[in-house]
Homo-oligomer: A and B are copies of this chain.
Amino acid sequence: MISLTEENYLKALIYLSSLAPGIEKKRDVSTSELASYLKLKSSTVNEMLKRLKDKNLINHEKYKKITLTHSGERNGLKIVRRHRLWETFLFTKLDFDWIEIHEVAEQLEHIKSEKLVEKIDRLLGYPSFDPHGDPIPNKHGNIPQRITKSLSTVKKGETCMVLAVSDTSKDFLNYLEDLDISIRTEIVVIDKIAYDKSVKIKIKHEQYSLSREVADNLLVGGKFN
């Protein structure tokens, strides 16, 4: 049995080693990195590492970096799958806001019932991406891949479609909501300002200017992607 707390450690390890934006191939994770991500003390994390190792969920030698075992990775991906399926359920079936879904999914992801997850998956029509555009691992732990690029890299005059966001903080999502930007929104790049790397865009005949930071965190694909 993997406890709720252990599940959160596994999820954090999956994130830091594989899923965090910008990671190409798997990275090893340090105790302090994990501690700071979970907002816990290193000594606390260190104790948990022993338990996770005993349960064969991680590899860890004293003073060395942490890697997930096969079992740890499979279990971690299971939790990511549940989290993203629940987010999709809350968003599409219960009309929760983009901003609210994460918090509730943080609780729902720990419900232990294979059957429940599969039933929810079916109800949703086996989605590949969650409402933030993040890929939903399938029941075998395979993660759907999709080519996206940052809005910053789109050329002047081109049209693209928002596929995902690389920042899911409330502040960012709220700002996007104000701008009427969400998943599948079409954006035309009107102009690119060399000076501050901001972009002038058009959404449904409305024009806006987006800072470099915002453009960086909007992941887009071609119009027919």
Residues on A lying within 8 angstroms of B by beta carbon are 90, 93-96, 100, 103-104, 107-108, 111-113, 115-116, 119-120, 123
16 CB < 8 A contacts A-B:
A90-B116, A93-B123, A94-B116, A94-B119, A94-B120, A94-B123, A96-B115, A100-B115, A103-B113, A104-B111, A104-B113, A104-B115, A104-B116, A107-B111, A107-B112, A107-B113
Which chain B positions have C-beta within 8 A of A116?
Answer: 90, 94, 104
Which chain B positions have C-beta within 8 A of A113?
Answer: 103-104, 107
CB distance from A91 to the nearest CB of B (A): 11
A90 nearest CB neighbor, chain B only:
B116
Give the CA-CA distance A115 to B93 in the complex, in Å: 13
Since A90-B116, A96-B115, A104-B111 are in contact, a sample of 11 more A-B pairs with Cβ atoms closer than 8 Å, ordered by chain A residue number, is A93-B123, A94-B116, A94-B119, A94-B120, A94-B123, A96-B119, A104-B113, A104-B115, A107-B111, A107-B113, A108-B111
Closest 10 CB pairs of A and B: A94-B119, A107-B111, A104-B113, A104-B116, A108-B111, A94-B123, A107-B112, A95-B119, A93-B123, A96-B119
A93 nearest CB neighbor, chain B only:
B123
Give the CA-CA distance A104 to B117 in the complex, in Å: 11
Q: Pick from A94, A96, A103, A120 the residue with the most CB of B within 10 Å.
A: A94
Give the CA-CA distance A96 to B115 in the complex, in Å: 9
Give the CA-CA distance A94 to B123 in the complex, in Å: 8
A103 nearest CB neighbor, chain B only:
B113
Which chain B positions have C-beta within 8 A of A96?
Answer: 115, 119
Which chain B positions have C-beta within 8 A of A107?
Answer: 111-113
A108 nearest CB neighbor, chain B only:
B111
Give the CA-CA distance A104 to B114 in the complex, in Å: 10
CB distance from A102 to the nearest CB of B (A): 12
Which chain B positions have C-beta within 8 A of A94?
Answer: 116, 119-120, 123
Give the CA-CA distance A132 to B184 in the complex, in Å: 43
A94 nearest CB neighbor, chain B only:
B119
